Amino acid sequence: MSVPLPAGFRYRTVDADGVAINAAVAGEGPPVLLLHGYPQTHLIWHQVAPALAADHTVVLTDLRGYGDSAKPAPDPGNEHYAKRAMARDQLLVMRALGFERFAVVGHDRGGRVGHRLALDAPEEVTGLAVLDIVPTRYAFGHPDIEFGLSYYHWFFLAAGNGVPERMIGADPEFWLRAHMAAQPRGGGFQDEAAVREYVRCFADPAAVAASCADYRSAATVDLEHDARDAEAGHRVACPLLALWGGSSFVGQHYDVLVAWREYALEVRGRALSAGHYVPEEAPEQTTAELRTFLAELP
């Protein structure tokens, strides 16, 4: 497999309590875990990770259900793709690699996994950066017609009776490319070599089923977990950096810092010259912001 990562990145498969997680590791220094979003893989970080590896140990993974990680069969209760289960995978990966405390950076779905990880493992997560998202519960709690039209895939992918799986499965490459092309852009474009890898991985019917289960969990069990945390007054305790694309739906539609301050104690961040795919559209800006944030963590 040819991938746009430098030779210094070492690939390995980590057993996360029976779930095989694909990981790439490089660099030395304080550890940082980078998590991707939908419908991508760890390669969304291919322009950011090498620079961060100059002074950090960088761990890139494919979330369960994505990339070359295992794809457990979805379950009726939506627990297999709950962010709690996906976050636990990542905690076990970092422990297996020898890291008891680490920072987390997540784009899109990876940011939601990172949010849950910071809540469930506050002693392990030293800092959290979330890219181009507001919290899931906040998004579902502030619906309007623009959200429905721009984020219709949240509802389509969460639909039951095998409908999205059958429709996407008829032409997964078309769906992936059309979905990514529909996102507002404000910076550079994605590397075609990386996109081909996204297509290769997403073409697996198990990946389509897993990604639909991911969104079903977000609309059900994830909201239950988030509601319990809200009722208990639990918020992210570590420093949180929010970055978003100035041209993205998130950047145009929300006051991102206000949203996150309902869910975290210490929040800062800003818009970058990008659309939704911040790490690919604005890699230099993203790297600079992350370096500054990571350097200040305990």
CATH number at residue 146: 3.40.50.1820
DSSP codes, 73-112: PP-TTS-TTSHHHHHHHHHHHHHHTT-SSEEEEEETHHHH
Average pLDDT over residues 2-31: 93
Average pLDDT over residues 21-34: 98
Domain count for the chain? 1
Q: What is the DSSP letter of 236?
A: B
Reported pTM: 0.97
Report the pLDDT value the prediction gives residue 225, as an integer from 0 to 100.
Answer: 98
In a domain, 3, yes or no: no
In a domain, 2, yes or no: no
Chain segment 97-115, per-residue pLDDT in tens: 999 999 999 999 999 999 9
Question: What kind and span of H or E run contains 214?
Answer: helix 205-218
How many helices and strands, by DSSP H and E, does the chain display? 15, 8
Report the pLDDT value the prediction gives residue 298, as an integer from 0 to 100.
Answer: 87
In a domain, 142, yes or no: yes
Active-site entry in 42, 46, 56, 276 = 276
Mean pLDDT of the chain: 96
Check if 108 is active-site.
yes
In a domain, 31, yes or no: yes
Give the range of the structural domain holding residue 152, as residue numbers without chain letter: 10-295
In a domain, 268, yes or no: yes
Q: How far apart are CA 182 and CA 176, in angstroms?
A: 10
Report the pLDDT value the prediction gives residue 90, as an integer from 0 to 100.
Answer: 98
Average pLDDT over residues 37-63: 97
The bridge status of strand 19-26 relative to strand 57-61 is: antiparallel
Average pLDDT over residues 230-242: 98
Q: How confident is the model at residue 3 (pLDDT cuts 50, 70, 90)?
A: low
* pLDDT-wise least confident of 23-27, 183-187, 259-263: 183-187
In a domain, 210, yes or no: yes
Report the pLDDT value the prediction gives residue 184, as an integer from 0 to 100.
Answer: 82
In a domain, 204, yes or no: yes
The strands making up 240-245's β-sheet, listed across from edge to edge, are 10-16, 19-26, 57-61, 31-35, 102-107, 125-131, 240-245, 267-272
In this structure, which amino acid lies at residue 226?
D
pLDDT > 60? residue 1? no
- Strand-pairing partners, residue 12, are 23
Check if 276 is active-site.
yes
pLDDT > 60? residue 2? no
Active-site entry in 62, 68, 89, 108 = 108
* Alpha-carbon distances of 123 from 86, 101, 149, 190, rounded to whole Å: 18, 7, 39, 35
In a domain, 86, yes or no: yes
